[in-house]
Amino acid sequence: MNRTLTILACLIPALAILVLWGTGYSSRALNWWSLSKSEIIDGARAYRDRYDNPVEPRLSNAYACLYAVSCDGERARLVPVTDPENWDFEATRSTIWNRRFSDVCPGRTANFGLHWIDASGADIPDHLENAYWSFHNDRFVMRLGRFNSGSFSEEPWQRCTPETAILSPLHEQSSAD
């Protein structure tokens, strides 16, 4: 009887630790397996909604460019997704998988990124200008913190232009004005 209680007393904390540790990893894995092209694109809109406020609008007058990791050379870098409809999302997922588990295409580069430029040329705060996809948070997050958390892309990477943007300003001027 005492032996059984001792074994149970050791197993219960061990199982609790495994479950708690596994929850964080399993949620990231679930986010990875359920990730879709539309979720990434919708994530750009959600980023604007989350960090733009009526008192101090920062992103409502901005273009957003979406970037995906590319391994054209030896190092990873972000390249713009200029045509979301024809974007080979599965090839990008394969690249991300190989970077993580096959140790190919190294580099301090995000897998998915957003770059914002203001339509009027005004500065966008540094912490909002570039965002990266967080598999832990299952969304785009800003680069904020003591060490500018997260990486965006190693140089060279193509800066956002209105022509490569996937989102336009919310209140774009019409050509009749």
* Total count of domains within the chain: 2
18/58 same-domain check: no
Cα angle: 62, vertex 64, 65; to 5 degrees: 150
Residue 151 lies in a domain: no
Nearest to 97, CA basis, from 78, 69, 73, 74: 69
26/44 same-domain check: no
Query: pTM score, two decimals?
Result: 0.79
80/133 same-domain check: yes
Cα angle: 51, vertex 49, 41; to 5 degrees: 110
15/66 same-domain check: no
Question: Does 109 have pLDDT greater than 90?
Answer: no
Residue 94 lies in a domain: yes
Residue-wise pLDDT tens digits, 14-63: 655 555 555 555 666 677 778 899 999 999 999 998 888 777 778 888 99
104/53 same-domain check: yes
67/119 same-domain check: yes
Cα angle: 78, vertex 40, 51; to 5 degrees: 90
Cα–Cα distance measured from residue 138 to residue 40, given in angstroms and rounded to the nearest whole number: 9
Average pLDDT over every residue of 135-148: 75
127/48 same-domain check: yes
Cα–Cα distance measured from residue 127 to residue 124, given in angstroms and rounded to the nearest whole number: 8
40/13 same-domain check: no
113/60 same-domain check: yes
Confidence of residue 161 (pLDDT cuts 50, 70, 90): very high
Query: Could you tell me the residue range of the domain that residue 8 belongs to?
Result: 1-34
45/130 same-domain check: yes
Neighbours of 78 (CB within 10 A): 27
126/44 same-domain check: yes
42/120 same-domain check: yes
Cis peptide before 156 (omega within 30 of 0): yes
Cα–Cα distance measured from residue 79 to residue 66, given in angstroms and rounded to the nearest whole number: 8
